[in-house]
Amino acid sequence: MDTLVSMKVFRQVVEAGSFVAAAERMSMSAAMASKHVMHLEQQLGARLLNRTTRRVAPTEAGREYYERVAQALTELDEAGQAVGAASVVPQGRLRVSSLTAFGLRHVMGAVADYAADFPQVTVDITLSDRVVELIDEGFDVAIRASPSGLKSSSLIARPLATAHIVLCASPEYLRRHGVPKTVADLSKHKFVHYAGASAAELAPFSEAGARPKPSGNLIVNHLEALRVVVLQGGGLSMLGTEVIGDDIAEGRLVPLLVDALPPRELPIYAVYASRRHLSAKVRSFVDFLAARFGSRALWPGVEEIRAAALRKTV
């Protein structure tokens, strides 16, 4: 039995999650696909897949083997395409996961332009604030943000831009409830909470000695929805300028306590699997985003945030 074919079948089984779907992709029967995987398991002396009546999933050994096989097969495919050429033409399906709010406001326009420039690439983009597992879920690139940075040694994180997390409220809310002048004043105000807030995002309150901690009776799991509530005067909230940059610049939201609670950096990254040789589609897409976002200001910087706070709260 051809081991190279068996490796390709195994890759398809892991990515499709079933022998039937993998067999269809490889134009063979499900029984033959199963024999190919068994051939690999016999060669390696290890079980690669856990099989149930409903799903097929890689074992720990199978996941490690899959990562190496996928890399090797990708490099083989690219080698075949690149014979006699200095580089590979970007082509094929590119699966991208992006933060929802940042994706709607900034990434989708970039994706549309990229697709126009690279017609041989089909961009399949998913907007979600869930942290996806790139390899296990079959994504090529994920666009993520983290105030504490990204630490996974198995992934490459290329910086694209830096937003800032700020405490803010609408002018209408401030007219009705007053402008907090100190951290202690926050105990008198209503907060709208983001369900996905990390400890790093809430750290400014602890560092500033906020007592009591922010309180409120509304929790929202979507940053755009949180923005809408704050714009309507629902309360104070911590939001990133990748979401509310235009609102600050145009006066719809007011930054608060920027000295006591300084704007916290929120780096935004393009994350992809660590490989010695990137596929042309991934490399070209990440380069495209880095050039687009690195060449212009996407939102107000710290000094503009301070100026906006001064204009509205003095």
Q: CB-side exposure of 141: number of CA atoms within 13 Å?
A: 29
In which band, very low, low, confident or very high, does the pLDDT at 303 lie, cut at 50, 70 and 90? Answer: confident
Burial environment of residue 304 by CB neighbours within 10 A (0 to 12, 13 to 18, 19 or more): middle
**Do 187 and 212 contact (CB within 8 A), yes or no?**
yes
- Nearest Cα to 102, choosing from 156, 163, 52, 42? 163
Burial of 222 (0-12, 13-18, 19+ CB in 10 A): middle
Q: E strands along 149-213, which residues?
A: 155-169, 192-194
Domain boundaries, the chain: 3-81, 92-161+266-294, 163-265+300-313
Pick from 18-32, 98-112, 160-174, 194-208: least confident: 194-208
Q: What is the mean pLDDT of residues 169-185?
A: 93
Residue 248 CA to residue 309 CA, distance in Å, equals 9
Q: Is residue 213 very low, low, confident or very high in pLDDT (cuts 50, 70, 90)?
A: low
- Asked if 251 and 308 touch (Cβ cutoff 8 Å), the reply is yes
Number of Cβ within 10 Å of residue 12's Cβ equals: 19
Contact 169, 261 (CB under 8 A): no
**Does pLDDT of 232 surpass 70?**
yes
Q: What is the mean pLDDT of the chain?
A: 85
Nearest to 271 by CA among 99, 153, 156: 156
The CATH number of the structural domain formed by 163-265+300-313 is 3.40.190.10
Distance CA 205, CA 22 (A): 51
Q: What angle do CA 244, 299, 96 make, to 5 degrees?
A: 80
Does CATH number 3.40.640.10 belong to domain 3-81?
no
DSSP assignment letter at 184 = G
Query: For the chain, percent helix, then strand, then coil, each to nearest 5?
Result: 45, 20, 30
Compute the Cα dihedral for 177, 179, 185, 190 and give only its sign. positive
Domain boundaries 92-161+266-294, corresponding CATH code: 3.40.190.10
Helices (H), 129-278: 134-137, 171-177, 199-207, 223-231, 241-249
Is 68 or 146 the better-scoring residue by pLDDT? 68
Average pLDDT over residues 307-314: 71
Q: Do domains 92-161+266-294 and 163-265+300-313 have the same CATH topology?
A: yes
CB atoms near residue 159 (< 10 Å): 14
Q: What is the pLDDT of residues 76-130, one digit of tens each?
A: 877 665 543 434 688 889 999 998 989 999 999 999 999 999 999 999 999 988 8
Tokens found for residue 217: 């009776």
Match 């079948």 to its residue by tokens: 9
Tens digit of each residue's pLDDT (9 = 90 or more) over 157-169: 899 999 999 999 9
Structure tokens belonging to residue 126: 């998913």
Asked if pLDDT for residue 304 goes beyond 90, the answer is no
d(CA 224, CA 228): 6
Give the residues across from 247 on adjacent strands: none
Q: Quick one: how far is CA 281 from the chain centroid?
A: 18
236 secondary structure, DSSP code: B
In terms of DSSP bridges, do strands 141-145 and 264-273 run parallel, antiparallel, or are they unpaired? antiparallel
The pLDDT tens digits of the residues spanning 142-157 come to: 999 887 666 655 788 8
Q: Full-prediction pTM beyond 0.85?
A: no
